[in-house]
Amino acid sequence: MTPGPPRVLSVRDLRVWYGTARGPVRAVDGVSFELRAGETLGLVGESGCGKSTLGRALMGLLPAGSKTDGEVVFDGTDIAALSPKRRRGLRGREMGMIFQEPMTRLNPLMRVSELFHETLRTHEPGLSKAQSRSRALEILRVMGIPPTRYASYPHEFSGGMRQRIMIALALVLNPRFVVADEPTTALDVLVEAQIVRLLSDLRREQDTAMLLITHNLGIVAEACDRVAVMYAGEIVEIGDAREVFARPRHPYTRELLRSTISLSTRGLTFIPGAPPDLVEPPAGCRFHPRCPDAMVGCTSRRPPVTTGAGGSTAACWLHELDTLDAAERVPATQEEIADADEA
C-alpha cells in the first residue's frame, strides 16, 4: 500500500478561553483534526463560532489574558508546550498566516520592498539584499504583481493587489503550514476567484498544508480537499468536502448549505436565532435551540461522534437513535428547549 502524504499538523482536544467579567468565554472547546502536506481544510461556520480564534491559537497569536489547553503537534513537536520565543521562531519560516484586512497588517510607511526585506532578513539573516530582492520579486511575479510596483507603498495598490502582497509575504519563506483567515473578504467576485486559484496553485506547487477559514461555502467547494464545520466552539462535522456537501450528516451543516444562494435559488432560507453565548453555552447539543430536528435527548445529553459511510464524522444524536430512550427520541418543544437553556 502506497503511504499518503506526511502529516504536518495534528490538533488534539484544543481549548481556548478568554477571561471576562462574566466568566471564561469558551471560544474553542475540544477541537481535534489533522492536516497533511498539500492538503487544504476549509473551516466554515457563522461569525462568533470560534474560527479565527482557532486559527490564531494554532499560530500562537492569541491576545494576553487567553488560556489554552490541548495539543498542537507540528512536525512531531507539541508546539503548544513551547515557550513564546521558540513559537515565534516557527512563525514565518515554518508556519505562515494570511490575515483578513491587508491595510491593517501592511505598514503604510514602508514600501513593499522594505516589507519583504524585513521579513526575509528577520528569518534568514544570511541573505544579501540582492538575494532578498530576487526572492521577493519571484513570489510577487507568481502572484501577478509586476516588478515595477516593487517600490510602491501599500496605499498605491487596489484591495485585490494588497491581498496578493499579503499572501506573498506569508508564502515567501515557503512555510509548511499556512492559516488563511478570510483571505477574500471585501474583494469582488472576480478578484476572489483569482485569489482562490492562486492559493490552490501555490499549495500544489509547494506542497503546503493550509487551513482556509471562510464564510463562503463556494470557495470551500472549489479549493478545499476537506471541510470542518464549526459551531459554538466545536467542530460538529468534518470530512471530504464533496461528501459533506452532497450528504451532510449534521443538521447545522445542512441548514448552512440550504442558506447558500445560487443561480437556482427561488427563495431565501436562513437559520433562526444566533449562535449561543459561549460563557454559558446550552447543555447537550449546542445547536439544539435552533435545530429543526431537536429531540428531548438533545437538550441534555452531549451527542456522540459517529462516522458515516463516506468517512465524514458528525456529532449528532440522529445517527445514534438506538442509544436514546423512547422519551428522549420525542421531538423537543420550544418550552422544553427554553427550560433546558434556563437550567
Region for 171 from its dihedrals, namely left if φ exceeds 0, alpha if ψ lies in -120 to 50, beta otherwise: alpha
Indicate whether 47 belongs to any domain. no
Say if residue 39's pLDDT is above 80: yes
pLDDT digits (tens, 9 = 90+) for 321-334: 999 999 899 988 77
The one-letter amino acid at 12: R
| Burial tier of 174 (Cβ tally within 10 Å: 0-12, 13-18, 19+) | middle
Q: What is the model's pLDDT at position 224?
A: 93
d(CA 27, CA 329): 30
Per-residue pLDDT tens for 267-284?
A: 788 899 999 999 999 999
Let me know if residue 156 belongs to a domain.
yes
Please, which pLDDT band fits residue 1 given cuts at 50, 70 and 90? very low
**185 occurs within a structural domain:** no
Q: Quick one: pLDDT at residue 25?
A: 94
Residue 5 lies inside a defined structural domain of this protein = no
- 136 falls within a domain: yes
Amino acid at 128: S
pLDDT band at residue 315 using 50, 70 and 90 as cut-offs: very high
Phi and psi (nearest 5°) for 128? -80, 170
Cell 495539543 sits at which residue? 71
Pairwise CA distance, residues 164 & 134, whole Å: 17
Tell me whether residue 271 is in a domain. Answer: yes
Nearest CA among 182, 268, 271 for reference residue 232: 271
Strand order in the sheet with 95-98: 95-98, 177-181, 209-213, 40-44, 226-231, 234-240, 313-315, 305-307
Identify whether 42 is part of a domain: no
Question: What is the average pLDDT across 78-89?
Answer: 89
Write down which residue in 174, 201, 224 finishes a domain. Answer: 174
**In the chain, how many domains are there?**
2
- Contact call for residues 35 and 209 (beta carbons, < 8 A): yes
**pLDDT bucket at 230, cuts 50 / 70 / 90:** very high
Mean pLDDT of 145-160: 92
Q: Is the pLDDT of residue 308 over 80?
A: yes
**Which residues constitute the domain of residue 312?**
264-342
| CA distance linking residue 268 with residue 247, whole number of Å | 21
Residue 91: DSSP 8-state: B
Give the CA distances from residue 341 to residues 179, 276, 280, 288, in Å, rounded to whole numbers and listed in that order: 35, 10, 9, 10
End position of a domain, from candidates 174, 204, 231 = 174
Among 157, 174, 191, identify where a domain stops. 174
pLDDT class of 339 with cuts at 50, 70, 90: low
DSSP label at residue 249? -
Closest of 314, 243, 259 to residue 46, by C-alpha:
259
Name the residue with higher pLDDT: 260 or 235: 235
Tell me what the mean pLDDT of segment 78-84 comes to.
90
Q: Chain-wide mean pLDDT for the chain? A: 90
Q: Is 97 helix (H, G, I), strand (E, B) or coil?
A: strand
Nearest Cα neighbor of 189 from 261, 297, 251 is 261
CA–CA distance, 51 with 47 (Å, rounded to integer): 8
- For residues 193 and 274, which has the higher predicted lDDT (pLDDT)? 274
Say what the pTM is.
Answer: 0.92
